[in-house]
Structure 1
Amino acid sequence: MILAVVCVFTFVAALLATGLLRRYAIARSLMDIPNSRSSHSVPTPRGGGVAIVFCFLTVLFMLFQMGYVGWTLFCALLGSGSGIALLGFLDDHGHIAARWRLLGHFIAAGWVLFYLDGLPPVLMLGVTYDLKWFGYLIGAFYLVWMLNLYNFMDGIDGLASAEAISVCLGAALIYIVLGYIDHSAVLLVMASAVGGFLWWNFPPAKIFMGDAGSGFLGIVLACFSLQAGWLSATLVWSWLILLGVFIVDATWTLLCRLLRGEALYEAHRSHAYQVASRRYGRHLPVTLGVLLINLFWLTPWALVAATGYVDGVLALLLAYSPLLGLAIFFNAGKQENQT
């Protein structure tokens, strides 16, 4: 009952805070102006993701005091999340060079790995591997990639919000099934905070998330996934499956662009979700489609991987196969005139 009250409070607080931020953005002319690389046609206020950051981190203190969040996860989330949000906020208000942003990203990743004691042991095909110091290196690149891909995938109305909510709810369900009920609390609070923002961001969006919000969600969800591995080795695969839509689309698009020698930070509209939104002429069908994929395709696969009924590697391959097919179908990664 107390947790339910906390979630409702978080949702309402995020909803109200986003409304206030929208007024602030309009007053300060913090607008996202459409250009040839945009997926929007109307100038829209940006920076609403700060509401998610503020409300989640505020309630995180409450969860820590109530015993739902341990000291290590609390420190990992607070330090990395606030740091990345601040970096994104500054970038939203004035451009920061890519090299300095990347440095900040690796510092945040190092912070997470320090408090979570590195990458958890990896279970592959029935064999557990402790990667020791090499795990820190892999973990750092994983965290930075998740942070950036979430930014890349925040390009149409409601998509990044719907992804975060459905992934957190799916993971919470899996935790409850496995008996990690207390650990599901922080996921439910995150879903509530994003839900309050989604009220304003649902197609057609009245405010955009901005780098502060998308980067924050990327690092926090990646942090959740690593911490899950210390609870159970199977849960890492569950998280990778739950995040499959974003991982497959962003990674496949990146690889295609790399093969053509394009600059990674060059603006483009070649992600599968962007191509799909242009084909359908609206953002709503794509956002709802991703939501349905997460709930009815990826969550069941993540559950069977978590319970051990199917090996995590096999479950991931089976779950990702149609996602890769969709990316290829929508010509993800190709130049716009080829899509």
Structure 2
Amino acid sequence: MNLFSLGLLTISVALVSGVLTGAVRGYATKWLLDLPNARSSHDVPTPRGGGLAVVLSFTLVAAGLYGLEQISFQLLMLVLGALPIAIIGFWDDHGHIPARWRLLVQVVSAVWALYWLGGMESVRVAGEVYDLGGLGSVFAVLLMVWLLNLFNFMDGIDGIAGIEVISVALSSCWLLVYQSPSFPGGADILLLTLAAAAGGFLFWNWPPAKIFMGDVGSAFVGFVLAVLALQTSSEGTLSLTVWLILLGTFFVDASVTLVRRMLSGQRWYEAHRSHAYQRAARRWASHKRVSLSVLAINLCWLLPWAFAAVRWPRLEPVLLACAYAPLIGLTLWLEAGKQGG
């Protein structure tokens, strides 16, 4: 696929996703209206479930790319594992599904992905390969489940989830291209497709949002990024450390908030609005400002550290710590996870 075809594909995916989001909005306005409550970050009733457009446009194009021999059967099977997660997420958008059933589907999808990855018995850190045996597979399943839920937790204000998907997908795509001259070569074109699909949705979700992503979209994109992270890590093109750096804004905010809520004896599994990004949105009275700040952090702070980790893999632990330190400080300064948020 030449660059012209690739550009045409990207624009087409974004347009299709945008049109589908508009169509979903017509349905969601009737059946999936999100009414503001004490834990909401929005003030007016807004439809949710717009992520269905991302799911449909990305999945259809992924199938087409396999038909055109642009991605492998393994990659197609990996991303198709996200469909059950999207289905139960869409069901949950209509009415609450008990967490145990959602978790069961998530674990089954993660095990499916692990099968197509051929297991995850070793991991590369700081340029060295460490044999983890069966624990590696357990770690991989937990990582996939955590990342998909992480996007669910962090999809709480206008624009933020779309911004995160686009910036992380494009950044990782660029790093893959930097690593290998053969472009597109598989995971990179899927990342570009995911970014384009999220871009079409973001047109409708940009503050003030006309529709929310919903569980159908947030869990789906989180899972797709997780399996592509594991796939590129297993083949040695991008290490997990690089992915953790790129996902730093979401990973740090969600993790610090969860740990703080657990340590303070709060019901950490209940809905809340005490994430750092939610507190920042209330402090600044602007979803747009927070979402643009996330974009700036991702591109101007985290991407350079991730690039450094690609160039000097032996320094990965140090680079990860340097990238995360100010983010942890910012999250604590914003009192993420503090009771009463």
Do both proteins adopt the same fold according to a TM-score greater than 0.5, normalized to the shorter chain? yes
**Residue aligning to 2:338:** 334
State the Cα deviation string for residues 12-39 of structure 1 (Å, max 9, x = none). 00000000011111133x1110000001
**Residue aligning to 1:122:** 123
SS of match in other structure, 1:109? helix
Alignment CA distance shift 1:234-1:171 (3 Å):
closer
Q: 1:55 aligns with which of 48, 53, 57?
A: 57
Q: How does 1:80-91 map to 2 (within 5 A)?
A: 80-91=81-92
Residue 117 (structure 1) shift = 1.5
Q: Note if contact 1:109-1:140 (Cα within 8 Å) is conserved in structure 2.
A: yes
**Residue aligning to 1:26:** 29
Alignment CA distance shift 1:309-1:133 (3 Å):
closer
How many equivalent pairs are there?
335
Q: Which runs of 5+ in 2 are unaligned?
A: none
Q: Note if contact 1:21-1:51 (Cα within 8 Å) is conserved in structure 2.
A: yes
Aligned counterparts of 1:233 and 1:170: Cα–Cα separation in 2: 14
Aligned counterparts of 2:158 and 2:93: Cα–Cα separation in 1: 18
Aligned counterparts of 2:42 and 2:121: Cα–Cα separation in 1: 40
Q: How does 1:230-269 map to 2 (within 5 A)?
A: 230-232=234-236, 234-269=238-273
Structure 1 residue runs of 4 or more that deviate by more than 4 Å after TM superposition: none
Q: Note if contact 2:123-2:136 (Cα within 8 Å) is conserved in structure 1.
A: no
Matched residue type, 1:159: I
Residue 308 (structure 1) shift = 2.3
Q: Note if contact 1:155-1:274 (Cα within 8 Å) is conserved in structure 2.
A: yes
Aligned counterparts of 2:77 and 2:298: Cα–Cα separation in 1: 29
Residue 10 (1) aligns with residue 13 (2): yes
State the Cα deviation string for residues 89-144 of structure 1 (Å, max 9, x = none). 11111211111111111111111111112226322344310212111101111111
**Residue aligning to 1:142:** 143
Q: How does 1:206-285 map to 2 (within 5 A)?
A: 206-232=210-236, 234-285=238-289
Matched residue type, 1:2: S
Report the aligned-residue RMSD. 1.4
**Residue aligning to 1:71:** 73
Aligned counterparts of 2:272 and 2:242: Cα–Cα separation in 1: 30
Farther off after superposition, 43-52 or 259-268: 259-268
Matched residue type, 1:3: L
Alignment CA distance shift 1:243-1:95 (3 Å):
same
Farther off after superposition, 63-72 or 80-89: 63-72
